[in-house]
Amino acid sequence: MTQVSRRAGVSASALRFYEARGLIEAHRTPGNQRRYPRHVLRRLAVIRAAQAVGLSLAEVSEALATVPLDRPVTREEWARLSRSWHDTLDLRIRALQQLRDGLTGCIGCGCLSQQTCPLRNAEDRLAAQGAGPRFLDAVVELEERDRAGG
Ligand code: FES
């Protein structure tokens, strides 16, 4: 276990994975050993925080692409990233609440009717829009509704 691995609480394999995904950067010694700059700890803290609130590595990667790899993430950058993730989480929570509310009406029912069951209707409506994760589709739908002001 490297010193960075110990200090960040991240396994060496996770560090290699993050590096392979371009989330962090390591330098190589003449013996081809990885050396992480000190500021990688702050970047790892951002990655861990984002994962703790349920963001995917793809989302973290996209966000961190706006922060250069050769210096620490600044307070202002962290504020910007966390603000944008807050909005994303709000949308997901609302989508989950809608799914939960639909499920509540189904408890004790058992019909699973294509015409009257809100979950079946939602599924059919989303399925008609094409294949893909239903939850993400619901989030996209909420985002579009938000942009349209409704
Ligand atoms: S199962 Fe009957 S409304 Fe959903």
- Residue whose CB lies within 8 A of the most ligand 1 atoms, among 99, 109, 115, for a mutation test: 109
Q: Are 126 and 136 in contact, with CB atoms under 8 Å apart? A: no
Measured CA to CA in angstroms, residue 72 lies from 4, 45, 46, 63, 115 at distances of 14, 11, 10, 15, 54
Mean pLDDT of 90-108: 89
pLDDT of residue 138: 60
Ligand 1: does its nearest atom lie under 6 Å from the Cβ of 122? no
pLDDT of residue 29: 92
- Enclosing H/E stretch for 17: helix 12-20
Give the position, in ligand 1's atom list, of the atom nearest the Cα of 113: 2
pLDDT of residue 132: 47
Tokens of 31: 């013996």
pLDDT of residue 116: 86
Determine what percent of the chain is predicted with pLDDT higher than 70: 80
Q: Side-chain half-sphere of 46: how many Cα atoms within 13 Å?
A: 29
Q: Which domains does the chain have, with CATH numbers?
A: 1-73 (1.10.1660.10), 85-150 (no CATH)
